[in-house]
Structure 1
Amino acid sequence: MSEFVELTRNGHVLEIKLNKPKVNAIDIPMSQHIAAAFAELRDDPDLRVGIITAQGDRIFSAGWDLKSLDAGDTQLDNWWDDADYGEGGFAGLTENWKLNKPVIAALNGLVIGGGFELAMACDLLIAADHVEFALPEMPLGIVPDAGALQRLPRRIPHNIAMEMFLLGRRMGAEEAARYGLVNKVVPYDQLMDAARDWAGQLAKSAPLALQTVKEVLRGIECVPLEQAFAKMRTDEMTTYRAMLKSEDAAEGVKAFVEKREPVFKGR
């Protein structure tokens, strides 16, 4: 794949590991490689779940490679149009509206700036107990506009998000869990076991049902309740429609009635 983005297949699970010393800073080529990994997850019918993590216990990612920005390799003005970060926007996931397969973030160290934005784009977050989250953009004269401004105030109380934006204060893993920003906090040496356990559980589910959850939630986000029902009934949600007519849906019901484990095929 890339010397900085390592891929491992574990049955129906694709593990993506960032390994770019010293801080997993994401420049354009690295973003493209991460995007390619998520495209592989999306397009391979044998893959059902993704895990993203990083090497070591010090840092998950410091986000955007500022040295690349300072060198002029990328531009700040209209940065999203200035270069090709790969399908899915920065880091391949922050604006990925086509990946319906769930992604688990196994956060092994500091989650900073664009690394925080990448983590928030995942569906389930498990953090090692020493992890801290921070958005240090303000002293640099910029803002975290690759997902933090858009997502963080929807995940935690508004005023706490403002502290992180304006004051750059760090948030520890336990506090993040109290706000529901992360799902689970575990000791570092249990991190990958916890992520793999959840991924294994998800991989046993009917693939179309798994993917329908993301497709529908994305389609009805911030929509009033009555309109949300209407959108599900009338909008073109192809995965949802396929799930309703799938062999797997029939198999799940049949297996329940027959008191046995279902055998899902993804169709």
Structure 2
Amino acid sequence: MADQSEARPPAVLTEVGGRVLLITLNRPAAMNAIDTDLAQGLLAAVDQLDGDDALTAGVLTGAGKGFCAGMDLKAFAAGGLPKGFDRFIRHGARKPLIAAVEGFALAGGLEVALACDLIVAAAGARLGIPEVSVGLFAAGGALGRLPRRVPYGVAMEMALTAEPITAEQAHGYGLVTRLAATGQAVTVARELAERIARNAPLAVAASKQVLRDVAGLTEAEFWDHQAPLIREVFASEDAKEGPRAFAEKRPPAWSGR
């Protein structure tokens, strides 16, 4: 008899389209809840994105009715935290990664979205950190990241009441950068990723790194932090190709070097 685990579909799917990698959390029957298989699959997908010079940006979405409902509480009760999840929520991806949210991004699911660089959400989607309602708290980065992206009082209310906000509210706060019609979050996120991918890969990655690292730095520390990236990017082949293409009135052919 065949091992039933062999027939289990992958917890995370990837699909390359041009310079963009689509990553899909693929546990729809469990609302894409995070277990070790999903966490490990997500890490592998991020490694694929970061390790392929032909890719510039990624889109992360969920199969089925929603983005992600957070940690698989049944798996947590049986064996603890999903292995590998901590690495993703701490570090995300080196290249730009856009969360495309349909339906809901709750608890660890919102923390997955917050580990991305941009969030596109469909109308009516719910975003929240309801952990206190099950005796836990949002330990996956939301309590540190939300106050930087929504007003302090909004973050506090979300954390203490366990009540979500809508995509429309999140857009008003700036947490969601683009609203999409229901069912169109991936389409809108792809368009945004493709727009990013038109630019020089090294310059894009450096811009993201500086923006993410600058919080809490003094101005002097900022300049020191940025200096090695200036040397790397401005000495690159792409830094020569961009002005050359501009002068020759043609699209640039980026090499990522």
TM over 0.5: yes
The count of residues paired between Structure 1 and Structure 2 equals 249
CA distance in 1, matches of 2:214, 2:154: 26
Superposed counterparts of 1:222-261, under 5 Å: 222-233=216-227, 237=228, 240-261=230-251
* Paired position in structure 1 for 2:179: 185
Q: Secondary structure at the match of 1:143?
A: coil
Distance 1:140 1:193 in 2: 34
- Aligned equivalent of 2:26, options 9, 15, 19: 19
1:240 Cα deviation after fit = 4.4
4+ runs deviating over 4 angstroms = none
Decide which of 51, 54, 58 is 1:46's aligned counterpart.
Answer: 54
Map of 1:60 onto structure 2: 67
Which runs of structure 2 are paired with 1:1-267 in the superposition (5 Å)? 3-20=10-27, 21-56=29-64, 58-71=65-78, 73-74=79-80, 84-85=83-84, 89-90=85-86, 93-96=88-91, 99-233=93-227, 237=228, 240-267=230-257
CA distance in 1, matches of 2:54, 2:96: 14
Cα distance in structure 1, aligned partners of 2:55 and 2:147:
32
With structure 1 as the length reference, what TM-score do the two structures score?
0.88
Q: CA deviation at 1:222?
A: 1.5
Contact 2:202/2:233 (<8 A) preserved: yes
* Partners of 2:59 and 2:186 within 8 A in 1: no
**Over residues 54-111 of structure 1, what are the superposed CA-to-partner deviations in whole Å (9 max), with x where a residue is unaligned?**
113x22111111101112x11xxxx5xxx631xxx43x531126x3210011101111
Provide the C-alpha distance between the structure 2 equivalents of 1:134 and 1:219, rounded to a whole number of angstroms: 25
In 2, distance between residues paired with 1:68 and 1:266? 41
Contact 1:216 1:240 in 2 (8 A): no
Instruction: Give the percent of matched residue pairs that are identical in Structure 1 and Structure 2.
Output: 38
| 1:2 positional shift | 5.6
Moved more, 140-149 or 212-221: 212-221
Does the C-alpha gap of structure 1 residues 128 and 154 become closer, same or farther in structure 2, counting only changes over 3 Å?
same
1:11-44 deviation line (CA, Å, top 9, x unaligned): 2111111121131110122101111110111111
Cα distance in 2 for partners of 1:42, 1:34 equals 12
Q: CA RMSD in A?
A: 1.8
Q: TM-score, normalised by structure 2?
A: 0.91
8 A Cα contact 1:216 1:232, kept in partner: yes
Change in 2 beyond 3 A, CA 1:207/1:266? same
Unaligned runs of 5+ in 2: 1-7
Q: Distance in 1 between matches of 2:209 and 2:173?
A: 25
CA offset at residue 250 of structure 1? 1.0
Whether the 8 Å contact between 2:68 and 2:106 is mirrored in structure 1 is yes
Q: Measure, in 2, the Cα distance between the counterparts of 1:179 and 1:143.
A: 22
Which residue is 2:5 aligned to? none
Q: Is the 8 A contact 1:2 1:33 kept in 2?
A: no
Residues 122 and 185 in structure 2, CA contact (< 8 A), matched pair in contact too: yes
Q: Distance in 1 between matches of 2:83 and 2:132?
A: 25
Partners of 2:53 and 2:201 in 1: CA distance: 9
Q: For 2:94 and 2:231, locate their aligned partners in 1 and report how far apart those are by CA, in whole Å.
A: 14
Task: Give the SS at the match of 1:227.
Answer: helix
